[in-house]
Amino acid sequence: MQPFDYYRPESFEEAFELLSQPRKTAVAIAGGTDVIPQTRDGIRRPDLVVDIKGLPGMRDLAMTSMAPCCGAGPDECLYVGAAVRINEIARSSIVQDHWPILADAAASIGNEQIRNRATIGGNICTASPAADSAPALYVLDASVLIKGPRGEDRCLPIAQFFTGPKRNALKHAEIVAGLLIPGSPAGTLSFHEKLSRRKAGDLSIVSVAVMAFPSANSTTWRLALGAVGPTPVRAPEAEAILARGYDAEAVDLAAASAYGCCSPIGDIRSSLDYRQAMVVNLARKAIRAVVAQLPQA
Ligand SMILES: Cc1cc2nc3c(=O)[nH]c(=O)nc-3n(C[C@H](O)[C@H](O)[C@H](O)COP(=O)(O)OP(=O)(O)OC[C@H]3O[C@@H](n4cnc5c(N)ncnc54)[C@H](O)[C@@H]3O)c2cc1C
């Protein structure tokens, strides 16, 4: 591996200064589960590695009243610092109790060793279409809290953060500080499923996240898919079909229509044909799993 300088700044100002240094190829590092293998393999050649794990608030996982960013009332949002490790999320009782779909998605990432190092910020910043936290974050309507060198903090809906394969909305030297996740009403139901070649340690062939919000007169739905196009996607047509009813025919129709939002490719993990078939199968399975918990239409 090519040698590089390593810094662990304690303030955002110091981190911005390091990441903005002229004539340096600087890279932020959190868990390093993407950065280190890529540097070892010569895919990246940083001469300056800036460890952002020690920045204020980056390891926090707590309820917050930073409501303007997440559209919920005071104390109804979960703040997840960008450097919170994937296993901390999977094992958090707050997350398991109130955002179980996020705990399930986190538990599906990599293997025990990877989850002990990898961070949620790293998972979204890598911006792989197969980032396994993404479909859950999409249906949870998460927002990404971004800090920049000129003090211009901003908050982006997660769907605007992913801009293409391995591309995200960060500008030069910006850092993701954390994620804000609105609380869900009582009775919310959800299901996450990931299909991969192996049970552990492999990226998704397809992943799906479904949430349903039952109320007295109707049920609203959110459905998102991963690894099926340049970015994770929501499937609004499927959501609209399910909002009108969720009998067996509607579920089949919704699952088939979810495919319309996808533009899958064949790759080392799956042929195109198999991935195409699995989008519909997995969407159907996830919707059925939620329907099984709902009163029948
Ligand atoms: C064996 C193995 C199995 C894996 N399995 C899976 C899997 O099943 N599912 C899956 O989704 N991923 C998987 N991955 C990929 C990887 O582990 C995850 O994407 C992980 O969440 C990355 O987090 P990290 O903290 O290690 O990121 P790092 O490697 O530290 O950083 C990744 C990228 O994000 C940037 N970055 C990190 N944090 C920030 C921040 N706060 N602000 C700005 N930029 C930032 C870095 O500069 C870098 O470009 C796997 C990796 C390996 C090696």
User: CATH number of the domain that 172 lies in?
Assistant: 3.30.465.10
Distance (angstroms) between ligand 1 centre and the Cα of 242 equals 34
- Do 235 and 197 belong to one domain? yes
State the residue range of the domain holding 99. 61-182
* Residue 265, pLDDT score: 86
* Domain annotation covers residue 233: yes
* Domain annotation covers residue 223: yes
* Residue 249, pLDDT score: 97
* Domain annotation covers residue 114: yes
* Residue 296, pLDDT score: 63
- Do 82 and 172 belong to one domain? yes
* Residue 64, pLDDT score: 85
- Do 167 and 143 belong to one domain? yes
**CA distances (Å), origin 213, targets 134, 196, 207, 226:** 20, 28, 21, 21
* Residue 162, pLDDT score: 98
* Domain annotation covers residue 296: no
* Residue 1, pLDDT score: 84
* Domain annotation covers residue 84: yes
* Domain annotation covers residue 56: no
Mark which of 182, 208, 232 sits at the end of a domain: 182
Mark which of 121, 156, 182 sits at the end of a domain: 182
- Do 65 and 128 belong to one domain? yes
Name residues of the chain where pLDDT drops below 70.
66-75, 296-297
- Do 241 and 286 belong to one domain? yes
* Domain annotation covers residue 205: yes
- Do 71 and 141 belong to one domain? yes
Which CATH number covers residue 221?
3.30.390.50
* Domain annotation covers residue 173: yes
Which CATH number covers residue 29?
3.30.43
Distance (angstroms) between ligand 1 centre and the Cα of 138 equals 18
Query: How many folded domains does the chain comprise?
Result: 3
**Ligand 1 within 6 A of 258 CB?**
no
Q: What is the pLDDT of residues 81-116, one digit of tens each?
A: 999 999 999 999 999 999 999 999 999 999 999 999
**Ligand 1 within 6 A of 26 CB?**
no
